[in-house]
């Protein structure tokens, strides 16, 4: 139960920051391209990469609770794209290149198919 609370607190702040930063970036653009979402996804990748990079060093500095709060919670609430990329890097660091490629491209393809299926189902119901 403690872990769920820790993740929830991080997600609360990450989700709030995602909304605020995305809206701020998008308000600075004049074309209909999702720069806000892209900025958040890239920033989330930078944050989780930085945190994980520090923690992967010998004797990582993050306690299990801090890791849950910052990576799973905050970065997960900020953007799941960061976790997706971080897991891909984890597979790469393990030199499991086949699984890395299957995971990255499979997730993108299946995610696209799932969104299209969701749109189709919504259209059928509405």
Binding site feature residues for Na(+): 76, 79
Half-sphere exposure of 70 (CA within 13 A, CB side): 17
Binding-site residues: 76, 79
Q: How many helices (H) and strands (E) does the chain have?
A: 6, 0
Which residue, among 11, 37, 12, has the nearest Cα to 22 in the 3D structure?
A: 37
Helix spans in 28-96 (H): 35-56, 64-67, 76-78, 80-93
């Amino acid at each position: 139960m403690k872990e769920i609370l820790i993740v929830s607190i991080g997600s609360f702040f990450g989700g709030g920051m995602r909304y605020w930063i995305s809206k701020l970036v998008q308000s600075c653009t004049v074309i209909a391209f999702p720069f806000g979402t892209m900025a958040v996804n890239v920033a989330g990748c930078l944050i989780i990469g930085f945190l994980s990079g520090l923690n992967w060093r010998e004797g990582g500095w993050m306690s299990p609770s801090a890791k849950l709060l910052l990576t799973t919670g905050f970065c997960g609430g900020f953007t799941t794209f960061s976790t997706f990329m971080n897991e891909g890097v984890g597979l790469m660091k393990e030199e499991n290149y086949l699984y890395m490629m299957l995971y990255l491209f499979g997730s993108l393809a299946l995610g696209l198919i799932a969104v299209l299926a969701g749109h189709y189902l919504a259209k059928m119901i509405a």
